[in-house]
Amino acid sequence: MSRLTLPLFSALLAAGLLAGCSTSVEDKTAGWSPNKIYSEARDEASSGSYDKAVPLFEKLEGRAAGTPLAQQAQLEKAYSQYKNNDKAQAVATLDRFMKLHPASPAYDYALYLKGLVNFNEDLGMFSWLSRQDLSERDQKAAKDSFESFRELVTRFPESRYTPDARQRMTYIVNSLAQYEVHVARYYYERGAYVAAISRAQSAIADYKEVPAIEEALYILMRSYDALGLEQLRDDTRRVLEGSYPSSDYIKYGFRKKDDPWWKFW
């Protein structure tokens, strides 16, 4: 190695060592007991610092591996991720928990929390503030939420979380039905009457006793009329009037959207 390259090599080596030292982070939990980590993690979560709580719960998972405390840490990590809007990570954590601990007494809570994560992802109890109809959104998260709640109420009918899950399931079904009707109305208003009929029929066939069926029948009736299918139009009108004798659709046509059905759920 020449005289010129040796100092350069030494300088680069020293810089690398300094960089390595500067990037090492001291683990403040190194001397903590599992209970101490859990207490600190809970304190961070309680104060709303979920981003700080998550790594502490992760530490606890490793330190208390194989114990009920590690399971508790995993669930509370999922909740903290959910509250920190890391919803994909929360679902992944819950899926891992349910795979590793299928006999856990907290399995019902894991199902409930997974349903809740997806429920808020898609529906959001206060989304009416933006004046956007919930049924106009992508429905995948709502369907995933429904499946989690359905498993909960089927497997754990006596769970403390089941009553709330049942209510949310009803709401999701209403939302999914309204989504079909929203699409049907979209097609109707653009003159795509065959497509409108198809979506309205899907809503009627797939969902029973939900508020959206009234509008689905009306769209079906109007679409048949637009296509000149008088017999089908009249048959649908009889069904609409028989099922909803006081229907505002018959009197006034399409409703205004000032007060959508989901607003006060």
Average pLDDT of every residue of the chain:
84
The answer to whether the CB of 80 falls within 8 A of the CB of 50 is: yes
**Residue 137 confidence (pLDDT):** 55
pLDDT digits (tens, 9 = 90+) for 157-202: 999 999 999 999 999 999 889 889 999 999 999 999 999 999 999 9
**Residue 18 confidence (pLDDT):** 52
Can you tell me the mean pLDDT for 228-239?
A: 96
Domain 175-252: top CATH class: mainly alpha
DSSP state of 134: G
pLDDT class of 256 with cuts at 50, 70, 90: very low
Can you tell me the mean pLDDT for 71-97?
A: 96
Spell out the domain ranges in the chain.
34-85, 175-252
Q: What is the C-alpha separation between 80 and 77, in angstroms, rounded?
A: 5
pLDDT beyond 90 at 75? yes
Nearest CA-CA partner of 261 in 199, 205, 179 = 179
pLDDT class of 27 with cuts at 50, 70, 90: confident
Q: What is the C-alpha separation between 227 and 61, in angstroms, rounded?
A: 64
| Global confidence as pTM | 0.74
* Cα 226–chain centre separation: 38
pLDDT digits (tens, 9 = 90+) for 124-143: 443 433 444 444 555 788 88
